Structure 1
Amino acid sequence: MDTVTAGIVSDLGFVEEMDRVRTWLNTWIAGTGTDLKPLLEWQFVEGSKYFRPLTIFGCYRATHGAKADIPDTMIRSAAVLEMMHNMTLIVDDILDHSDERRGIPSLHAKFGSLPALMASGFIVAEGFDMSADDPHDIRMFADLVKRLGVAECAQWRLRRQPLGVADWEEIAGEDTGSMFETCACLATRDDTLRRFGRLIGMLYHGCDDVGDVKGLEGLGGGGEEDLRDGILTLPASLAIQDRAICDMFCKAEPSAAELDQIKHAMIAQLPAADAHLDKLAKDAKWQAQTKTKEPKVLEELVDYTRELSRR
């Protein structure tokens, strides 16, 4: 597990539950065929952050009690959610031409694009098969996969456009936000914390954007790829309010010098981006406080999420 997330897991008291998720995934991988097993072992490395299962467990405890045992059904839900997340990572790496993830070659760089794409489809099919006896989870995962597909197409369509922070919120809310919404709904089995999930997902997405610009390792995104492809990140949405920067950002192929100017304009907007993230964090905490009787675990989760862009 990623060392930063490992500390958070320990602080929140979910070490045993996370071990159960890893055991579930490792057992599943061990039972796959010889053609897929090496790819799955490579993709599901120990460096995974497991932040989404952590969110599921936090939402469960917030609504069921601070000392509530996490049932096996919730471990399964968390493992399948992590599988769906890894499917998106594989596709994103191919789309972004990213040859590395977590400091090692990405799946397509190691095994080729076709095997990687087939593995991503296999992962999703296996996740639905694991959830076959749970209509609620099936509906949640089906909705998630559809929303992620639409969000990715929308984000690609809206590249190099003169948009703003509200547009970034819509993109982030459907991209990362939909994943964390699903985490919350898997935990509560209803919509009680859906809004909380969306907000912490947007916060995670924005912290990734800011961390990339700051030159941090980030939370899984790709700062150089986003800048190259004209993706609307949070710092970019603020920087392009300047007309000259916007004109460069919207060019089909900005020059190296123009990309450098855009990057420096984004750096200059980091204080404003941080302020926006602080507001999202505050809103997420308010949802936790008003929707649950045990908000502390979710408040701490929000604080940890917010700190990730500062490490």
Structure 2
Amino acid sequence: MTPATSLFTPVEADLRILADNLKQLVGNRHPILCAAAEHLFGAGGKRIRPAIVLLISRAIMLEQDITPRHRRLAEITEMIHTASLVHDDVVDESNMRRGVPTIHSFVGNRIAILAGDFLFAQSSWYLANLDNLEVVKLLSEVIMDLASGEIQQGLSRFDTEISIESYLEKSYYKTASLIANSSKAAGLLGEVSPGTAEHLYNYGRHLGLAFQIVDDILDFTSTTDTLGKPVGSDLKSGHLTAPVLFALEEKPYLEVLIKRQFAQEGDLEQALELIQDSQGIQRSRELAAHHAKLATEHLAALPPSESHQALLNIAEYNLSRLY
């Protein structure tokens, strides 16, 4: 499998600048927030979201250099994503994320929530300073969507009645909205046509959905070491994802196990076996491939370039994570 970072060759230098800028953007007004920023932004990560913003910026600017506003948009995108992870980890009571201790595990829930709030506030301030009302509207909507997705997920725990459509809607709010709206925002800052801006939005939307579906499949097919959390942990927490929803159509007893919230010994293991024994994982793979294909079709609006090709490769890389 191709490492994610090798896909970002056209914006490698841009991402190095972004990494340096992120820590400076948070500032040094409080030592705890500084330490949190060092931990969050120093932990690395694939930086897929800002890389997509930078690749789209380069794909539409072509021979011209990207503007400082494009760079700032990429930084804002990563700040919003990071803030949402801080809050998610508190809500999910996760002590590890991809093998690294979460913020709340060493500063406590109260400070972690405030650190997440601070990052959201900082990103909003820098967003306002882009002086582009349309872009402000798009990214403000993302922050609302992230909260809506988290609430929706919290209210639907262990609910075997939720549909694939509801699951995709929640996945849009939690994952795809940020990629979709920041992709469109990059186009607007580059003054593309309204039609091209919509194609960029739909590229991000379908790519984001494909990424979430693949992540949800990996919760059943990967290893604890790779995931940085126990296999099946989403299911144990009552978050019913695509593989589970498809499996429920074939395995009626799975509903019994979920409704009693895996209260009896061996319930979770039995549920995992039923999912593995169903078409749930295969149908989820097909759903992810469907959205990846739709994403790449929307890129036809951009002229050929190295950055354009990298955006196509990201969709392919996402699917390759399953194999």
The TM-score normalised by the length of structure 2 is 0.86
CA distance in 2 between counterparts of 1:208 and 1:257 reads 25
**Comparing 39-48 with 200-209, which one deviates more in the overlay?**
39-48
Residue type of the alignment partner of 1:251: R
Map of 1:270 onto structure 2: 281
Map of 1:296 onto structure 2: 309
- Residue identity over aligned pairs, in percent, reads 22
Q: Does 1:248 align with 2:244?
A: no
CA distance in 2 between counterparts of 1:165 and 1:111 reads 37
Map of 2:42 onto structure 1: 45
Whether contact under 8 Å (2:70, 2:186) holds in the other structure is yes
Map of 1:179 onto structure 2: 178
CA distance in 2 between counterparts of 1:182 and 1:145 reads 11
Residue type of the alignment partner of 1:246: E
Whether contact under 8 Å (1:209, 1:223) holds in the other structure is no
Cα deviation, residue 220, structure 1: 8.1
CA distance in 1 between counterparts of 2:64 and 2:311 reads 15
CA distance in 2 between counterparts of 1:4 and 1:27 reads 28
CA distance in 2 between counterparts of 1:301 and 1:254 reads 40
For structure 2, the residue ranges without an aligned partner over 5 or more in a row are 189-196
Cα deviation, residue 47, structure 1: 2.5
Relative to structure 1, the CA distance from residue 30 to residue 5 in structure 2 (aligned partners, 3 Å threshold; closer, same or farther) is farther
Give SS of 1:24's match: helix
Map of 1:123 onto structure 2: 119
Map of 1:63 onto structure 2: 60
Map of 1:286 onto structure 2: 297
2:105 counterpart (102, 106, 109) = 109
CA distance in 1 between counterparts of 2:220 and 2:96 reads 18
CA offset digits 1:87-132 (Å, max 9, x no partner): 1111111111110113121000011111101101111111112222
Cα deviation, residue 222, structure 1: 7.0
Give SS of 1:161's match: coil
Residue type of the alignment partner of 2:109: S
Map of 1:259 onto structure 2: 268
Give SS of 1:98's match: coil
CA distance in 1 between counterparts of 2:204 and 2:178 reads 8
1:209-228 mapped onto 2 (5 Å cutoff): 209-216=216-223, 223-228=231-236
Map of 1:99 onto structure 2: 95
Whether contact under 8 Å (1:209, 1:235) holds in the other structure is yes
Residue type of the alignment partner of 1:74: H
**Comparing 219-228 with 137-146, which one deviates more in the overlay?**
219-228
Cα deviation, residue 232, structure 1: 1.9
Relative to structure 1, the CA distance from residue 184 to residue 7 in structure 2 (aligned partners, 3 Å threshold; closer, same or farther) is same
CA distance in 2 between counterparts of 1:226 and 1:68 reads 45
CA distance in 2 between counterparts of 1:188 and 1:254 reads 50
**Comparing 49-58 with 250-259, which one deviates more in the overlay?**
250-259
Relative to structure 1, the CA distance from residue 178 to residue 200 in structure 2 (aligned partners, 3 Å threshold; closer, same or farther) is same
Cα deviation, residue 70, structure 1: 2.4
Relative to structure 1, the CA distance from residue 110 to residue 122 in structure 2 (aligned partners, 3 Å threshold; closer, same or farther) is same
The TM-score normalised by the length of structure 1 is 0.89
Give SS of 1:95's match: helix
Relative to structure 1, the CA distance from residue 148 to residue 221 in structure 2 (aligned partners, 3 Å threshold; closer, same or farther) is farther
CA distance in 1 between counterparts of 2:156 and 2:226 reads 23
Q: Does 1:193 align with 2:200?
A: yes
Cα deviation, residue 260, structure 1: 1.2
Residue type of the alignment partner of 1:101: R
